[in-house]
Chains A and B, each alone.
Chain A
Amino acid sequence: MEPLVTFDEVTKIYSGRQSLLSRRRSKEVVALDRVSFQIRSGEIFSLVGESGSGKTTCGRLLVALEEPSSGRIRFDGQELQHIREREMRAFRRRVQMIFQDPYQSLNPQLTVFQTVVEPLLVQRVGGHQEREARVCDVLEEVGLHPAEDFLFRYPHQLSGGQRQRVAVARAMILDPSFVVADEPVSMLDASIQAQLLNTLLDLKERHSLTMLFITHDLATARYLSDRICVIFRGRIMEHGPAEAVIQNPMHPYTRALIQAVPSVKRRREDLPAPAGPVDLYVSPSGRGCPFSSRCPSCDHRCQEQEAVLQEVEKQHYAACFLYYG
């Protein structure tokens, strides 16, 4: 079956802006470096990475908020760069986005009803009554019930969790086939996070929704997704079925990441060796692995040559020389 989303060798370079005071241009930033992956219809695909990994850039490219510097992105067989104005409207109807911060993504001057109904107006869907019914239905579905109690409230009258539910309702009202959710729960308290994660899982089941879930949190990615893709400094390090990546991580970077996830149950008394700060990575020369300067298994090849993604076990890929036969 043709995947719903295909990233094919996508590179995104942010060129340096000329600064106000100096004539020098700052360096180019390679946010994504020849990234390829596919998202299958009906699955939740998690993109996991630390800050600066390029995960948000992937999401923005996918909803056509930005264009890749090179490479191709296909959605349902159609190449994004070739979608024209008229078709763009249809595309926007099928692809929706949920942002991280519900305090910034909702217009403070609009009521819940106005916020959620807006996509229907833009897409000219239904008559007045139908639209109202649909807004109520979707609010109930995301857990804001009774919906009537929420219709005429403003964002400042809602808690953070309720605001994010409004954002989810707005994304869902057009019954999209694909949703990009960029850290949708990271601003919320733990108990509210868990509620919202369950809501997302229910929506996926009921609407056979396909989702790109962008997160820094491996445990959340594991809970929600069918497949996980680990990205670091614009490069894919590993991807595969969620349980395989978590239980049997292949890439030393993924292993380090999993090891660093603190546990709720377990106390740790291992005191770290006084190594240098982990956030100081030395960029490899040439095409080397971005993790090589901190990797315990690094060998002479890692600094200079590129390890391409290898299928190490079924459907489970890693970009590391450890798996070069």
Chain B
Amino acid sequence: MSLLQVESLSVHYSTQRGEVHALDDVSFRLEQGEALGLVGESGCGKTTVAMSIMRLLAENARILTGRILFRGEDLLAKADEEMRRLRWKEISMVFQAAMNALNPVHRVGDQIAEAIMAHDGAVTREEAQRRLEGLCAMVGLDPARMRDYPHQFSGGMRQRAVIAMALACRPSLVIADEPTTALDVMVSDQILGELRRLQLDMGLSILYISHDISVIARSCDRMGVMYAGQLVEFGPTDELLESPLHPYTKGLMRSYPRISGPKERLHPIPGEPPNLLRPPGGCRFCPRCPDAAEACPEQRPMWREYGGQHFALCHRIAT
């Protein structure tokens, strides 16, 4: 049994201007002890996936279809109270903007200790304190700085504190939504390395979510590529990056300037992602696709495997 199984998840948001088709039939599995990444540009639905799993979707969101099985149990069918017990103890989240995820008027250490005690009723203050020290060692924070307030921390230290908080109750699944996006490259590199080490040492499962392919490439065993609310490609990271199948993935990879190898002109995907109030029929990437053919604007492509656990959603890939 997979640790997490997302099955044909479709989510809409109701707005003043109409229904936003944010997620359309997204399915994937995350195995125990695995690091899985979802990559995509803003508005592709990757954060909606995360929030659906956490059951923290905004009020105007509506889940049309789908199940989210965690250890075989459907999270979407759980009562709020049950879900609250699961959250943080079983599934926790590293939020994007670390400055906003910490309370500015409380000491960092107190906030982490509070997370431990709030979700682990039996823990005494002394025990929480001991666990706090363990967490500091784990994420590379100086225990002596636990009496500081968030504004006294650098961006990297704050992000480490947020990671410590997510690990506080020893969850089996951590969702890391843009865990290093606002950080300097050396700090980001180090934190991603530490997360990878924790994941391997503790047998932790992590769902990474990022707009940056290189973050996913660095950290994940398998990855999925999202575009305009759909999962368009999925597979083992090395295989997918080495031989991408979907025209969107190919275009995205051609959009990043390289630090090594010969210097070549970039050939970005023309145009912009579609308005999800009225997504294109058929394939959603079709209006920007260099390989589009007759069937593409008409029919929704089928999700197909192209060998080696490598899947894609496209009419045009030769089998």
Contact = CB atoms under 8 A, between A and B. Distances in A.
B208 to A, nearest CB: 13
A198 interface: yes
Given A197-B257, A271-B196, A277-B156, A264 B214 contact: yes
A222 B257 contact: yes
A192 B273 CA distance: 10
Given A191-B268, A218-B259, A243-B263, A276 B186 contact: no
B133 to A, nearest CB: 15
A35 interface: no
A133 interface: no
A219 B256 contact: yes
Nearest to A187: B42
Interface string A216-248: 111110110000000000000000000100100
B184 A216 contact: yes
Interface string A132-175: 00000000000000000000000000011110000000000000
Nearest to A265: B241
Nearest to B141: A277
B257 A272 contact: no
B206 to A, nearest CB: 15
Contact of A262 (B42, B218, B255, B267): B218
Contacts of B281: none
A127 B160 CA distance: 58
A196 B282 CA distance: 29
A197 B266 contact: yes
A259 B155 CA distance: 21
A223 B257 contact: yes
B94 interface: no
B278 interface: no
B256 A194 contact: yes
Nearest to B194: A272
B85 interface: no
B75 to A, nearest CB: 30
A261 B268 CA distance: 21
Contacts of A260: 185-186, 188-190
A104 to B, nearest CB: 16
B41 interface: yes
B272 A192 contact: yes
Interface in A244-259: 246, 256-259
A28 interface: no
A263 interface: yes
A189 interface: yes
Contacts of A246: 259
Contacts, number: 140
Interface in B158-189: 160, 184-189
A191 B267 CA distance: 9
Nearest to B185: A260
Interface in B110-151: 140-141
Contacts of A276: 140
Nearest to B254: A194
B156 A194 contact: no
Given A272-B193, A277-B190, A267 B218 contact: yes
Nearest to B180: A262
B241 A198 contact: no
A264 B256 contact: yes
Interface string B282-299: 000000000000000000
Given A223-B257, A271-B193, A272-B194, A263 B157 contact: no
A50 B186 CA distance: 9
Contacts of A197: 257, 266
Nearest to A159: B272
Contacts of B154: 279-280
Nearest to A190: B255
A161 B272 CA distance: 9
B278 to A, nearest CB: 15
B33 interface: no
B268 A195 contact: yes
Interface string A176-217: 000000000000011111110110000000000000000011
B140 to A, nearest CB: 5
Nearest to B188: A260
B48 interface: no
Interface string A64-104: 00000000000000000000000000000000000000000
B73 interface: no
30 contacts: A51-B184, A160-B42, A189-B41, A190-B41, A190-B211, A191-B252, A191-B255, A193-B268, A194-B266, A198-B265, A198-B266, A219-B256, A222-B259, A222-B263, A223-B266, A257-B186, A259-B189, A262-B189, A262-B214, A263-B218, A263-B258, A263-B259, A265-B217, A266-B217, A267-B217, A268-B218, A271-B197, A272-B193, A278-B156, A279-B156
- For the complex of A and B, the 5 pairs showing the least CB-CB separation, nearest first, are A194-B268, A262-B214, A223-B257, A189-B41, A260-B189
Interface of A: 50-51, 159-162, 189-195, 197-198, 216-220, 222-223, 243, 246, 256-268, 270-272, 274, 276-280
Given A222-B258, A223-B266, A246-B259, 5 more contacts: A190-B211, A194-B256, A194-B257, A262-B185, A279-B155
